[in-house]
Amino acid sequence: MQQERCSSSDRPLDPGCLLERDAERGADRLGCAAVDFPVAVVLPAGGSGERMGLATPKQFCTILNRPLISYTIQAFERLSWIGTVVVVVAKENHDLMLNIVQKCNHTKVKVVHGGTTRHRSIFNGLQAFSSTTDSLMPKPKVVIIHDAVRPFVEEDLLLKITLAAKEQGASGAIRSLVSTVIATTSEGYLDHSLERAKYRASEMPQGFLYDIIFQAYQRCSEFDFEFGTECLHLALQYCGTNAKLIEGPPTLWKVTYKRDLAAAEAIIKETLSMSACIIAGAEAEAVELAKTLQKNLNMMETDVIPCAKESNTEYLSKTRNFIHISTTASNLDMVKCFEDTDHACLYPVVVVWVQLNMTKQSVDSQKTDELTAFRSLASEVIQGNVLLYGIQIDHTKVPEQWERSVERLTQLTVALIRDRNAALTGQLLHA
C-alpha cells in the first residue's frame, strides 16, 4: 500500500491501512513498541440514521456483503496493541450486532446497550470497563472514542491520538474548515460570520485517559447529556484537561448521506484491486500468457506463481484477487481452499479463471462437463464471499489477432476485479 496515495489526494483513496496485507504490517509492530499500556475503544453506534433517509441505520448498511460498522471495527481490531472494542447499540439492534460480530469473526468486541443521546451512549460504553467482576475487560489506561460510521481511520493517527492522550490526558483529531461558519438571527438573517482560519472542525477519533473522561461524565449535567456532543469539551469543563489537537487526514470523513455509501464502496473496491496473484498452469502457453498479462496489468502489483498447491499457500492468505490461467477447469480446486479459512470472510475474494482454449472449438457453445462444473462451483463459493468469474481466450499464432485478444483479456480482468459484480459470477466471457 503506497502511502503517497493518501497524502497527495483530497479524497480518501486509501482506507487507512484498513485493507493492509499481512506481510505489510510492520507499522503495527512499531505501535506495540510505543504503546506499552492497555488501550480500549468505544464505538457509539446507536444512531437511527435519519439524514440517510433509509429504514436501516447507516452503521448497519451493507457494503460488499458486509455491514459498514464491521469495517470500522476491523480498523481497530487489526491492531494488536488495542484490547477491547466496546460497541454501543440501541437495545433493539443488540441481536443484530451480535450476529455481525459472529459472521465477521470479530474477536475483541463487547456489545452494550446505548442511551437516548450520544453522550448517554458513550457513558454506557465507558461504564462497561468499570465493573471489577469482568476479568476479560480490564480498565484501560487510554480509551479511544470513535464514530462507528468513520471506517477509514489510519493507524498512524490512532497512534498519535493514543500517545497524546497518555501524556496530556485528552487528544482529538481536527480538520480545517471547508466552508465559512455563520450565525443567523431568529428571523433567518445573517448575524455574523466566523473567521475560518481561526477555527477547526472537531473530528474523531478522540483519546482520553480513562479516569479523566469517566470522571467528566460522572460530573456532567443533564443538559450536557441531553444536548451535548463534544467529548473534549466535557474533559475540559469538568476535569480541567485541555486536549492536544492533532491534524487529521482526509480519510476521516463520516458516512452521513446515502451518497457516502457509494463513495465508501468505491474506496474499498479501489483498494482491494491494487494487487493480484496470477496462477499459471503447467502448459508453456499458459505460462507465457501469465507473463504477458502481468506486464499489461501495470496498475496492479502482481505476482506469477505455478499452479502447484505447495506454491499457493502463502499467496492464498495474503491476496484478494487471483487470476488462474489454465487449459481446463480441473485446477480450480484452489478456490475451495477459502472455505477452510476466514480469508474471504471480511472482504470478497475475486478469482478470474482464464481458460486458454488451444483448439478452434468454442467452449461456450458446448455444454461441456468442465463448463458445467465451473458454473456449479461459482454458485457454491459465492456463499462464502468468493466471486468466481470466467474468461475464455482462444490461442492463436497470428500476432495481431493474439495481441487484440490479450488486450481484451486485460480489460475484462481489470473490470471484473474492480467492479466485483456478483451478478457476473459463473458466466464465461470471451476475450
- DSSP codes joined into one string, 187-234: TS-EEEE--GGG-EEEEEEEEEEHHHHHHHHHH--HHHHHH---HHHH
Between helices 258-272 and 68-77, what is the axis angle to 10°? 50
Amino acid at 169: G
Which residues, at least 6 apart from 253, have a Cβ–Cβ distance to it below 8 Å?
12, 150, 152, 260
First-to-last alpha carbon distance for the chain, in angstroms, is 30
What's residue 31's pLDDT?
A: 66
Separation between Cα atoms, residue 17 and residue 24, nearest integer Å: 9
Q: 273, exposed or middle or buried, with CB in 10 Å at 0-12, 13-18, 19+? A: buried
pLDDT in tens, the chain (431 residues): 333 333 333 333 334 344 444 434 444 555 666 899 999 999 999 876 565 666 788 999 999 888 999 999 999 999 999 999 999 999 999 999 999 999 888 999 999 999 999 999 999 999 999 865 555 678 999 999 999 999 999 999 999 999 999 999 999 999 988 888 899 999 999 999 988 888 898 999 999 999 999 999 999 999 999 999 999 999 999 999 999 999 999 888 889 888 999 999 988 888 888 889 998 888 899 999 999 999 999 878 888 888 765 556 666 777 889 999 988 765 677 777 776 667 777 788 999 999 898 876 554 445 577 778 888 889 988 988 899 999 999 999 899 999 999 999 999 999 999 988 888 898 889 98
- Retrieve residue 113's grid coordinates: 446497550
Long-range contacts, 360-363 (Cβ 8 Å, 24+): 360/394, 362/392, 362/394, 362/430, 363/392, 363/428
Separation between Cα atoms, residue 17 and residue 391, nearest integer Å: 31
- Retrieve residue 77's grid coordinates: 481490531
Q: Rounded to whole angstroms, what are the CA distances from 87 to 59, 124, 188, 264?
A: 11, 10, 39, 21
- Retrieve residue 193's grid coordinates: 460570520
What's residue 313's pLDDT?
A: 65
Q: Rounded to whole angstroms, what are the CA distances from 81 to 86, 246, 329?
A: 15, 20, 44
